Structure 1
Amino acid sequence: MRILAVDLGKARTGLAVCDEQEILASPLCVVEEWNRQKLLERVTEEAKRLGVGRIVVGLPRNMDGSEGESAQNARAFAQSLQEYSKIPVVMQDERGTTITAHNYLNDTNTRGKKRKAVVDAVAATVILQDYLLLRRNGHAP
Structure 2
Amino acid sequence: MGLDVGSKTVGVAVSDLMGWTAQGIETIKIDEENKDFGYDRVQELVKEYDVDTIVIGLPKNMNNSIGPRAEASLQYGEALRPFIGDCEIVFQDERLTTSQAERMLVEEGNVSRKKRKKVIDKLAAVMILQNYLNMKK
CA-to-aligned-CA distance 1:45-66 (integer Å, 9 cap, x gap): 1111111111111101001100
In the alignment, the residues of structure 1 paired with residue 35 and residue 24 of structure 2 have an alpha-carbon distance, to the nearest angstrom, of 21
The equivalent residue for 1:85 is 84
Q: Of 26, 31, 37, which residue of structure 1 is paired with 2:28?
A: 31
Partner of 1:5: 2
Q: CA deviation at 1:72?
A: 1.3
Q: Distance in 2 between matches of 1:84 and 1:135?
A: 25
Q: RMSD of the TM alignment (CA)? A: 1.3
1:96 equivalenced with 2:96 (yes/no): yes
| Residue 19, structure 1, aligned to residue 23, structure 2 | no
Q: Aligned partner of 1:128: which letter?
A: L
The answer for the alignment partner of 1:139 in structure 2 is none
Question: How far apart, CA to CA, are the structure 2 residues paired with 1:110 and 1:43?
Answer: 27
**Cα separation, 1, equivalents of 2:35 and 2:50:** 22
In structure 2, C-alpha distance between the alignment counterparts of 1:82 and 1:88, rounded to whole Å: 9
Distance 1:36 1:56, change over 3 A: farther
Which structure 1 residue ranges, 4+ long, deviate > 3 Å from structure 2? 35-38
TM-score (ref. length: structure 2): 0.91
Secondary structure, counterpart of 2:38 in structure 1: helix
Report the equivalent of 2:47.
48
The C-alpha deviation readout for 1:29-84, integer Å capped at 9, x for no partner, is 11112155551111111111111111111101001100011111111111121232
Does 1 or 2 have the higher relative contact order (CA < 8 Å, sep 6+)?
Answer: 2
Aligned residues of 2:14 and 2:23 also touching (Cα < 8 A): yes
**Following TM superposition, by how much is the alpha carbon of 1:17 offset from its aligned partner in structure 2, in angstroms?**
0.7
Alignment of 1:108 with 2:109, yes or no, is: yes
Q: Which amino acid aligns with 2:102?
A: H
